[in-house]
């Protein structure tokens, strides 16, 4: 078995299979790593509230707006598996630093973009940066921390990601409302620049270097196959609903299946020949990894889609502006913050059932929202939803960290980069699938003449589906036994 080489942040020292970075540096290590994952997750959600003003300022067409939103996620989904492998080969700290530099520079370009075309191009470069740094975060946590410290690190990772997702719309609304220096929507991108610059200067001293020793080749055919398969999967999911699911979307899905099949066959062939596959099939023989990946896909199908339909309901159905809509998300953040900080203590008692409990809490909270909406009607105060929103956030806090640990917790160190890339990919794909599916349900229920009552009906239909998704995750986790 190939060993993993771990080097401390100071380049002069090198050790093999070092159990953990020095205790005094661990907090700084986590802070730098989580700065990256917070920013890259934030930019998935914050852009939504900036879209109306961006469209007016740049005179962007609906198609251009769609690509401003979608170009980022598509690039991330297509690149993270390859990026994880690059981290294994050339060093995770190097790839994290490169990703952070690209993301920060592209954020500046987004904020200064004079046209929609420049903004789209900058968003794609942002996606490349996010793809490079995202898998390195999980990989460094997996190699630099052990035991209870690793559990705490996964908890902090989940906390950063969840807070970025939950508060993204609020942060965007506040920045646009403040309108610092007349920047308006541009501040949603420029806010990344100082944070990224500081984090980048700390990477050499804070992040330990590690890589899979002895692996020097990049599987270029594998890169082409999996990248093509990801684009063929995610692109129709992004554009299909708005275009009425034309023939090309179904041909693209069919092509994706073929490319994934060829990719799997080719990876097995390389592994049998003792060469260097992009994803070693041995990874999927790791206990719990395959089931953890399936659970991740299903779970993230529900997350992005819930934020989408809830935002549509409160803004278009109830008439809230961007800042007010952002504020209504804060109870979710409060519940998430409460439980994500204590999830490791719960996990010490419940083990791998912690995530299942979290998803069941989410299912109950979604059912409570349905009941509340039916009782209060279209004129009732949205404040009646607060208890259910807090409970939903609490369930998220219990689920996200343990779900990541379920997939990554038993992965061998020399596979952590590739495994992190797979986890990051399925999160993106799960989110895209969820948005596509919930979009069909929501807009079908909404009808062609939307009214406040129609929006409530559409939101309720979406909640019913999302509650089922949460229960499905809990059931899937029952097949992952110690």
Q: What is the pLDDT of residue 23?
A: 61
Position 138 scores a pLDDT of 81
What pTM was computed for the model?
0.75
pLDDT of residue 7: 45
Burial class (CB in 10 A: 0-12, 13-18, 19+), 449: exposed
CB distance 109 to 44 below 8 Å:
no
Both tokens of 143, joined, read: 């190699």
57 C-beta neighbours (distance < 10 Å), count: 14
Determine the pLDDT at residue 214: 63
pLDDT at residue number 172: 86
* pLDDT for the residue 345: 74
Intervals of the chain under pLDDT 70: 1-24, 62-63, 213-216, 343-344, 409, 480-482
């Amino acid at each position: 078995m190939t060993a993993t080489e771990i080097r401390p942040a100071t380049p002069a020292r090198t050790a093999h299979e070092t159990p953990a970075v020095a205790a005094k540096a661990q907090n700084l290590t986590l802070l730098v790593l989580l700065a990256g994952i917070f920013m890259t997750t934030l930019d998935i959600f914050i852009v939504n509230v900036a879209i109306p003003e961006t469209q007016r300022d740049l005179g962007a067409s609906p198609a251009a707006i769609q690509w401003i939103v979608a170009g980022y996620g598509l690039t991330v989904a297509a690149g993270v598996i390859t990026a994880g492998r690059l981290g294994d080969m050339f060093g995770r700290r190097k790839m994290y630093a490169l990703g952070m530099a690209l993301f920060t520079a592209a954020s500046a370009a987004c904020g200064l973009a004079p046209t929609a075309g420049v903004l789209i191009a900058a968003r794609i470069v942002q996606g490349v940066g996010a793809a490079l740094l995202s898998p390195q975060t999980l990989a460094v946590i997996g190699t630099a921390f052990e035991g209870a410290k690793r559990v705490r690190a996964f908890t902090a990772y989940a906390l950063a990601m969840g807070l970025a997702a939950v508060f993204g719309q609020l942060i965007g609304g506040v920045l646009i409302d403040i309108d610092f220096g007349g920047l308006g929507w541009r501040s949603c991108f420029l806010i990344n620049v100082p944070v990224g610059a500081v984090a980048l200067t700390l990477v050499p001293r804070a992040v330990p270097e590690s890589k899979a020793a002895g692996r020097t080749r990049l599987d270029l055919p594998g890169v082409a196959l999996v990248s093509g398969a990801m684009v063929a999967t995610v692109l129709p999911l992004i554009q299909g609903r708005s275009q009425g699911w034309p023939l090309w979307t179904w041909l693209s899905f069919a092509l994706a299946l073929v490319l994934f099949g060829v990719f799997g066959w080719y990876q097995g062939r390389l592994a049998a020949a003792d060469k260097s596959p992009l994803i070693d099939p041995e990874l999927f023989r790791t206990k719990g990894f395959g089931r953890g990946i399936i659970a991740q896909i299903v779970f993230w199908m529900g997350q992005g889609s819930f934020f989408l339909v809830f935002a549509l309901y409160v803004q278009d159905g109830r008439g809230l502006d961007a800042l007010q809509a952002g504020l209504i998300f804060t109870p979710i953040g409060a519940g998430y913050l409460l439980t994500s900080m204590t999830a490791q203590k719960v996990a010490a008692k419940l083990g791998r059932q912690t995530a299942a409990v979290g998803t069941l809490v989410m299912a109950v909270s979604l059912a409570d929202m349905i009941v509340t909406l039916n009782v209060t009607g279209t004129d009732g105060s949205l404040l009646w939803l607060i208890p259910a929103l807090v409970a939903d956030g609490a369930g998220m806090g219990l689920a996200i960290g343990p779900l990541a640990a379920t997939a990554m917790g038993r992965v061998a160190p020399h596979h952590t980069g590739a495994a992190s890339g797979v986890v990051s990919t399925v999160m993106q794909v799960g989110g895209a699938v969820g948005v596509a599916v919930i979009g069909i349900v929501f807009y079908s229920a909404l009808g062609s003449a939307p009214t406040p009552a129609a929006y409530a009906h559409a939101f309720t239909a979406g909640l019913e589906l999302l509650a089922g998704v949460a229960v499905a995750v809990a059931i899937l986790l029952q097949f992952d036994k110690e």
